[in-house]
Amino acid sequence: MKLLLKYLLFTLMIFAGYEVFSQPPASFRSTSAPSKKLNLIREGYIETQIKLSNDEKAKFWPVYREYKEEVNSIRKAKLQNRLNKSKDQIQKDLEYDQQLVDAKKHYTKEFLKILPPDKVNRVFQSEREFTEELIKQLGERGTPDK
């Protein structure tokens, strides 16, 4: 009986220890560090693709970061809307899509004040290329070797 009690206590301690050492809840984890690193890599990629002068860099990056912040907030709101399962979800989704288009139009005009049209086109093209490459690498990383 004493031995059974010891095994039971030991098993309980193992499960309790598992809970202590498991990952913290998402609310405690910081997601800003990986996204900051990713943003720096993205900016480096775009910069090499469009070959900015020092003057262009100084003017372009603050506007670009503002653009990315606005787009990300719209996308986050759209993602939150997808959790809403009401009739209005479809209409709201279309409104968020329109907001994304409007933001891109607005910032395209802002970018054109700083960069020539070919470089502005290259900014958006470089963003797409970067995202495609990122998805490709994440897909390759996620597939187990056989």
Contact (Cβ atoms closer than 8 angstroms) between residue 111 and residue 123: yes
| Token pair recorded at residue 134 | 């990122």
Dump the DSSP string for 83-103: H--STHHHHHHHHHHHHHHHH
| Beta-carbon contacts of residue 84 (< 8 Å; ≥ 6 apart) | 92
pLDDT at 20: 52
Q: What is the pTM of this model?
A: 0.70
Contact between 110 and 120 (Cβ < 8 Å): no
Say yes or no to pLDDT of 119 above 80. Answer: yes
- Residue 90: pLDDT band (50, 70, 90) is confident
Q: Which residues contact 96 (CB under 8 A, 6 or more apart)?
A: 74, 75, 77, 78, 81
Mean confidence (pLDDT) of the chain: 82
Nearest to 124 by CA among 41, 35, 49: 49
